[in-house]
Structure 1
Amino acid sequence: MSTINQLSELNLLLSQDHVHHQLSVPHLVEKILYRNEGTLTERGAVQATTGTYTGRSPKDKFIVRDDVTEDKVEWGAVNQPIDDDTFVKLYHKVLDYLKDRRELFVFKGFAGADERYRLPMQVLTEFAWHNLFARQMFIRPEASELEEHDTEFTVISAPTFKADPDVDGTNSEAFIMVSFKHRVVLIGGTEYAGEIKKSIFSVMNYLLPEKNVLPMHCSANIGKEGDVALFFGLSGTGKTTLSADPQRRLIGDDEHAWSPYGVFNIEGGCYAKCINLSKEKEPQIYDAIHFGSVLENVVLQPDSHAPDYDDTSLTENTRAAYPLDHIDNTVQPSIAGHPNAIIFLTADATGVLPPISRLTKEQAMYHFLSGYTSKLAGTERGITKPEATFSACFGSPFLPLAPSAYAEMLGEKIDQFNTDVFLVNTGWSGGAYGEGERIKLSYTRSMIHAALEGELSSAETYKDPVFGLHIPTHCPGVPDEVLFPRKTWNNPAAYDESAKELAEKFHANFKKFTYASDKIKQAGPTHHTN
């Protein structure tokens, strides 16, 4: 069946003289500066701003509902349907619009480091800095690979094209539409580069399970003995920070897949949050931001052009995009064996979850399906203060299929490879957000090192009476009282009330998972309302 990106309209556009293909980093930087799209920092990184949209816009994301997707996609608020005719009409409008642009930019590359499962894709962008972003975030082909590159998915990014909701079937001027039938992602009305990266992640979340591969919203690294660790968590929970560990080699910071052969990175770069970034706390990320990197919505000091990572005047969701080779101790290619340990990360703004706990198999399934965290300011449009959220599989916004499809695969793999699972709270201690303090990064690193080195696998634990979690009574490098949230609160009665409220939220959220076994349902918080 012919697909729209194979028709002459797109091919004709791509063949025009004003369309630049596979520009190098220096050439793209020259274009960015000449076109006034960005500014150079004192270390040579490109700084760009994204205007109104400084985070993902989930209400503007759609999947085309057709004979290919009808019975596979879990339709609803996350996967909003749009019909094929509406998509095709908008597709042609966008292409007509792009024909009149002064310059366009194309990057061809791959999603997926394992050649057995990788997706050949291309990104057509209106902005040069978006093309640099794509070049650094996806896997860059060798010259020989480029010659044989056969594009299977195309991303078209037209940020200055504003949709008309009454005419185009969108919810606003912005839109992110995925057509699996036509193998096209159509993005318009938003300058936030993260939409490019996350749209391809959604595509891989649809395609990989068909190949018996589990796509995962997680970072990954590997120890000196070859032990592999996965870090699941939503934006702002610490995936990038905690996987960038000088004592371990980085596989990737955000998107991976678990195949019958082991783990592989879906991307070729990192997309790190920059808020309060410092060389002292996060030296690997700090040092990675130089020529070839892209800083998104980071404020620069007027005279020196040095980034002010503490300035949140544009957004708290400041970002840095850079290729994996900007970090010294990475795995190349980004492929490793089966995971020995899995870390579920949550940034609990209520301050009641323990900093670390060891999970049973059933608890692992419960917390994977729950995907609890406190959504932090700036990660999505309209979020200005932390709020409790449950995101199935720690990545609901990017899952076209039902959460059960991913959860069942994870459970089977945990069983098959006897993988240890821990829940780590990188959020607050001693009180809720605004009263307590964020758990020290040094403490979190010590707890994770202990977990990955096997020191907590047989350690004495205390069973939390509300959440049923198994809390280690001692962890090297961490004061014992820090391990027990109730002991860090000045008012234990207030802790009890907050813990009860969060437990009730867990129960209310989990009611939708009717297919979960009784063992998994009973693995959640022990408190029940009457």
Structure 2
Amino acid sequence: MSMLHFETRLCQLIQGNNVNKDLPVPHLIEKMLARKEGHLTATGAFVAKTGEYTGRSPMDKFIVKEASSERDIHWGSVNKPISSETFERLYERVLHYLADKDELFVRQGFSGADTNYQYPIRVVNELAWHNLFVRQLFIRPEQEKKATQLPEFTIISAPGFKADPTRDGTRSEAFIIISFEKRTILIGGTAYAGEMKKAIFSIMNYLLPKQGVFSMHCSANVGSEGDVALFFGLSGTGKTTLSADRHRSLIGDDEHAWSPTGIFNIEGGCYAKCINLCKEKEPDIYNAIKFGAVLENVVIDEHTREPDYDATDFTENTRAAYPLTSIDSSTIPSISGHPSTLIFLTADAFGVLPPISKLSVEQAMYHFLSGYTSKLAGTERGISSPTATFSACFGAPFLPLHPSHYAKMLGEKMTEHNTDVFLVNTGWQGGPYGTGHRISLHYTRAMVRAALQGDLQSAETTKDPVFGLNIPLHCPGVPDHLLLPWQTWAEPLAYEQKAKELAYKFKENFNRFKDISRDVLIGGPLI
């Protein structure tokens, strides 16, 4: 099926009288309420439920095997192939399904704040609240751009369409399929809005490196002196929370790119976890959840409509989507210079990694390729408690190319700009999950602040006997004994055993990387 036929079929669908294009927020919310897709909360935000799928479904994601991209893709458990014929048949079935709907919602936006690397995107939604979600998450075009720029990629989202695995070639009723040749992302069977966000991130991770731009799963902010910091980490490690700092300007909370001139946000909004959210600890995020924001799976009081951010009735992966402009200290447009500091975030469920350590270049490359953390409950389908995992480049589910491609770009950028790198553990101390306790956000903020202000540059350090990490012995605002993880455990022998257990997991995971240089290997655990 030719690209012309693809576009013709789609145009026939979205030119109908039942199609709502680029509705403003108030009009869209009126539609959402009339269609009974959710409720307004006391703060003015709209809350919706996503049903059975309350997190991403990575096992249901496919990339179409096409001649133009086949040799580039790192095929495997993350990037699973599906044939062009299978994709085209499913495409026709989804369009036929959507054609019978009373209303559809179409929106145009952009991915990439730097206009030199910006891609126009179009989203076709079955649900009105999904259309509000993409309006808040992607970059909103000016009126003249809407009229002149044709979309480079189109998302078609039909959560009500359930695939038949036998007939449609999918794994389950849900599917997320990317065709680079047809410039189309087909999503169905799941109402989790994050699938749209991460699908666009996946295509940017394919397109940008081909232009010499390093795409990254990280948040970013900038200080008053223009000092830029990047926060790498998987969902739930604290990227959004730690980058939302009232003393620094937010560039973005999740997806960025590093070009020859500096960094830029890939998105125009934030998608924050809001489990246990409170105004005292995270005021910027709390205050951003107002009229126009979208809440996913948050419990609200039936009478007062007040959100209960502590409740986990539907999932622990409760979410809030809002535009960057809802953060008072945000940088618009979200572009800045080269970063001086990188923070690698991990939520260590073993409770053995230090709360902060300074990494050498070799250690930075090793831990970037390792991407260790503990997946937290609800972030992905099937995860009900913290699970130790390794995700290359802190974002393996979204990387179409081989991880070494992104790691090489990181090493080149670090060397060129003499960037400092710190590993920060936002997970457990005093014992593993279930025995120890989560490291205080107050102390984590103090450690990050010290790293960004240069307070740890000349600090006396000690070497971690298992992981070889350089741990500062003193940090402003943090009790000294908390900096050394073995001093927080009641039983030193238990700590040593658990630390070695995690170290061996690092070694075992790294065996999958072939032809890695010795310079990178020496950055790993000492055992």
Closer, same or farther in 2 for the Cα pair 1:320/1:4, shift >3 Å?
Answer: farther
Q: Residue 131 of structure 1 aligns to which amino acid in structure 2?
A: N
| Residue pairs, 1:456-495, within 5 angstroms | 456-495=456-495
Could you tell me how far 1:7 is from its partner in structure 2?
3.3
Contact 1:110–1:119, Cα closer than 8 Å, also in 2: yes
What is the CA-CA distance between 1:6 and the residue it aligns to? 4.9
Is the Cα–Cα contact under 8 Å of residues 355 and 425 in structure 1 kept in the other structure? Answer: yes
For residues 6 and 181 of structure 2, what CA distance do their matches in structure 1 show? 12
Contact in 2 for aligned 1:53/1:191 (Cα 8 Å): yes
In structure 2, what is the equivalent of residue 243 of structure 1?
A: 243
Whole-angstrom CA distance in 2 between matches of 1:267 and 1:5 = 30
Q: Deviations over 1:179-213 (max 9, x none)?
A: 00000000000000000000000000000000000
Asked if 1:504 corresponds to 2:507, the answer is no
The aligned counterpart of 1:373 is: 373
Q: Deviations over 1:375-415 (max 9, x none)?
A: 11100000001111000000000000000100000000000
What does residue 389 of structure 2 align with?
389
Cα deviation, 1:423-481, whole Å, max 9, x if unaligned, reads: 00000011111111100001000000000011112211100010000000100000000
Deviations 1:6-55 (A, max 9, x none): 53211111110101100000011000000000100001100000000000
1:233 corresponding residue in structure 2: 233
The answer for unaligned runs of 5 or more in structure 2 is none
Query: The residue matched to 1:494 in structure 2 has which SS?
Result: helix
Task: Give the secondary-structure state (helix, strand or coil) at the position aligned to 1:477.
Answer: coil
Matches of 1:458 and 1:260, distance apart in 2:
30
Identity %: 65
| Structure 1 SS opposite 2:114 | coil
> Structure 1 stretch 510-519 or stretch 67-76: which is displaced more?
510-519
Question: In the aligned structure 2, how far is the partner of 1:388 from the partner of 1:152?
Answer: 37
Which residue of structure 1 lines up, in the alignment, with residue 170 of structure 2? 170
Distance 1:515 1:361 in 2: 18
Structure-1 separation of matches of 2:89 and 2:459: 61
* Cα distance in 1, alignment partners of residues 387 and 223 from structure 2: 35
What one-letter code is carried by the residue in structure 2 that aligns with 1:429?
Q
Residue aligning to 1:25 = 25
**C-alpha contact 1:111 1:121 (8 A) present in aligned 2:** yes
1:96-139 superposed Cα distances (whole Å, 9 cap, x missing partner): 11000010001101000000001100000000000000000000
Do 1:271 and 1:321's aligned partners in 2 also have CA atoms closer than 8 Å?
Answer: yes
Structure 2: distance between partners of 1:5 and 1:496 = 62
Q: Which amino acid aligns with 2:384?
A: T
Q: How does 1:130-529 map to 2 (within 5 A)?
A: 130-527=130-527
Structure 2 distance, partners of 1:88, 1:451, is: 51
Equivalent residues in 2 for 1:40-51, closer than 5 Å: 40-51=40-51
Contact 1:357 / 1:469 at 8 angstroms: preserved in 2?
yes
**AA of the residue aligned to 1:339:** P
- Cα distance in 1 between the residues matched to 2:34 and 2:318: 24
Aligned to 1:35: 35
Letter of the structure 1 residue corresponding to residue 348 of structure 2: D
CA distance in 2, matches of 1:3, 1:482: 59
SS of the equivalent of 1:412 reads: helix
CA 1:394–1:497: 2 relative to 1, 3 Å: same
What displacement does 1:148 show?
1.2
Does the 8 A contact of 1:5 with 1:184 survive in 2?
A: no
Distance 1:99 1:77 in 2: 34
Cα deviation, residue 2, structure 1: 4.5
| Count of aligned positions | 527
Letter of the aligned partner of 2:350 in structure 1?
A: T
Distance 1:460 1:4 in 2: 64
CA contact (8 A) 1:214 1:258 kept: yes
Q: Is the 8 A contact 1:5 1:183 kept in 2?
A: no
Equivalent-residue separation in structure 1 for 2:7 and 2:422 (angstroms): 50
Amino acid paired to 1:518 = R
Between the aligned partners of 2:8 and 2:228, the Cα distance in structure 1 is: 46
Distance 2:160 2:435 in 1: 42
Q: Which amino acid in the other structure matches residue 104 of structure 1?
A: L
Once residues 5 and 47 of structure 1 are traced to their aligned partners in structure 2, the CA distance between those partners, rounded to angstroms, is 38
Once the two structures are overlaid, the 10-residue window that deviates more, 516-525 or 410-419, is 516-525
Opposite residue 70 of structure 2, the aligned amino acid is E
TM-superposed CA distance for 1:302, in Å, is 1.5
1:322, CA displacement in angstroms? 0.2
Q: Which runs of 5+ in 1 are unaligned?
A: none
Structure 1 counterpart SS, 2:412: helix
Please say if residues 5 and 182 of structure 1, whose CA atoms lie closer than 8 Å, have aligned partners that are also in contact.
no
Query: 1:235 and 1:194 mapped to 2: Cα distance?
Result: 11
- 1:5 Cα offset (Å): 6.8
Alignment RMSD, CA only? 0.8
What SS does the aligned partner of 1:116 have?
A: helix
User: 1:516 deviation in Å?
Assistant: 1.5
Question: Which amino acid in 1 is paired with 2:155?
Answer: V
TM-fit CA distance, 1:70: 1.2
**SS of residue matched to 1:348:** coil
1-structure distance, mates of 2:196, 2:68: 22
Aligned residue identity for 1:324: L
Distance 2:250 2:406 in 1: 24
Q: Equivalents in 2 of 1:154, 1:519: separation in Å?
A: 42
